[in-house]
Amino acid sequence: MSGHIPVMLSEVLATLAPRDGGIYLDGTFGGGGYASAILEAAACTLYAIDRDREAIARGAALATRHPGRLHLIEGSFGQMLPLLRDSGVERLDGVVLDLGVSSFQLNDPARGFSFRGDGPLDMRMGQHGPTAADLVNTLPERELADTLFELGEERLSRRIAKAIVAERLQAPITTTSRLAGIIRAMVPPDRSGIDPATRSFQALRIRVNDELGEIVRGLEQAARLLGHGGRLVVVAFHSLEDRLVKRFMAEAAGRAPGPSRHDPAGLLGRGAAEWRLLTSKPLRPTPAEEHANPRSRSARLRAMERLDGTEAAA
């Protein structure tokens, strides 16, 4: 699994707390870092999902080292419920989701995720659907600008979208280097040192892969699969992801703000919470990890645990 450094590995393991005989899901197999550690930590069974066919192929060696214990499934974690049911799994003891892009994907120019090397403007985590090139060459200017603003939080989205539309009239934009160059010409560098293309590339990647929709579906399905004492552990890497995870867990644990007294929903009252938060505030990487792995700096870990009937009623 060289080239892959699992983020906040010790914190993930401590929070998930895998036990002998348990059944767990790594919904974002990636480079296999979490999966390998979970299998080493307990005599458990692990199912691992990834929509990247290359990740599933890489996992074969790990499955060989743990015969009968690691089951690899190609697909998206937003479809974990039907995927696991097809494998005969109805209940889990723990789920871990790492919402970041795999280092293998970022480091391979042919996948088109990064502006640091030249490659085809693809960005698909799986093998299907429109590419980033399809989006930048076909979206109307306003829709493109809205995408960059809403999914990349890019304040100069209108300027960038206008430049992209002008450039694609000259010739289709098909490579990461050409797109990055267009963006850099429109966005002045700032003191943070972050590349001016970062936010726009993030926005396109999120839209290409429907990442926010995947998170919503994945969280809901994980909650349905986890039994009493089951734990959901999620590592997010930017504010849009973390906001969805925070809101979902707060609502599940009965911590979300109640409706306004003017809202008829306020008359319905609230049932007993079936979950408890394991992280009142998100866990962050240690300074040592941030230094060793700069990609970990934005990571936020949140987790919750399903209560049994007596705890929920207490």
75 lies in the same domain as 202: no
Q: Domain range holding 134?
A: 127-208
Confidence label for 192 from pLDDT (cuts 50, 70 and 90):
confident
pLDDT at site 212 = 94
253 lies in the same domain as 274: yes
- Measured at the CA of 117, the angle between CA 287 and CA 170, to 5 degrees, comes to 130
In tens, the pLDDT along 286-310 reads: 999 999 998 889 999 999 999 986 4
Residues pairing with 73 in the sheet: 49
pLDDT at site 274 = 92
3-state class (DSSP) for residue 26: strand
pLDDT at site 265 = 45
Residue 107 clears pLDDT 80, i.e. is over it: no
For 251-284, b/e burial (b = at least 16 CB within 10 A) is: ebbbbeeeeeeeeeeeeeeeeebbbbbbbeebbb
Rounded Cα gap, residues 106 and 9, in angstroms: 20
Q: What is the CATH number of the domain that holds 81?
A: 3.40.50.150
**243 close to 300: Cβ distance less than 8 angstroms:** no
Q: Whole-model pTM? A: 0.88
**102 close to 31: Cβ distance less than 8 angstroms:** yes
Mean per-residue pLDDT, 200-219? 94
**Where is the domain boundary, 177, 208, 239?**
208
Mean per-residue pLDDT, 69-90? 96
pLDDT at site 245 = 97
Mean per-residue pLDDT, 170-176? 96
Among residues 76, 77, 54, 101, which one has the least CA distance to residue 201? 101
Distances (CA, A) of 221 to 156, 205, 230: 36, 23, 13
Q: What share of the chain is helix, strand, coil (3-state, %, to 5)?
A: 45, 15, 40
Query: Lowest mean pLDDT: which of 40-44, 117-121, 259-263, 303-307?
Result: 259-263
In tens, the pLDDT along 122-155 reads: 989 887 889 999 999 999 999 999 999 999 999 9
Which has more pLDDT, 297 or 270? 297
Mean pLDDT score of the chain, rounded to an integer?
89
303 lies in the same domain as 181: no
82 lies in the same domain as 132: no
Residues pairing with 23 in the sheet: 45
pLDDT at site 103 = 65
196 lies in the same domain as 232: no
Query: Lowest mean pLDDT: which of 98-102, 156-160, 276-280?
Result: 98-102
DSSP-derived pairing of the beta strands 23-26 and 275-277: unpaired
pLDDT at site 115 = 78
CA dihedral 80, 50, 120, 103 (to 10 degrees): 130
Distances (CA, A) of 118 to 172, 212, 239: 16, 27, 28
pLDDT at site 82 = 97
Rounded Cα gap, residues 94 and 91, in angstroms: 9
Residue 17 clears pLDDT 80, i.e. is over it: yes
Confidence label for 261 from pLDDT (cuts 50, 70 and 90):
low
Q: What is the CATH number of the domain that holds 191?
A: 1.10.150.170
Residue 143 is assigned to a structural domain of this protein: yes
Residue 268 clears pLDDT 50, i.e. is over it: no
pLDDT at site 92 = 98
Q: CB 13: neighbour CB atoms within 10 A?
A: 19
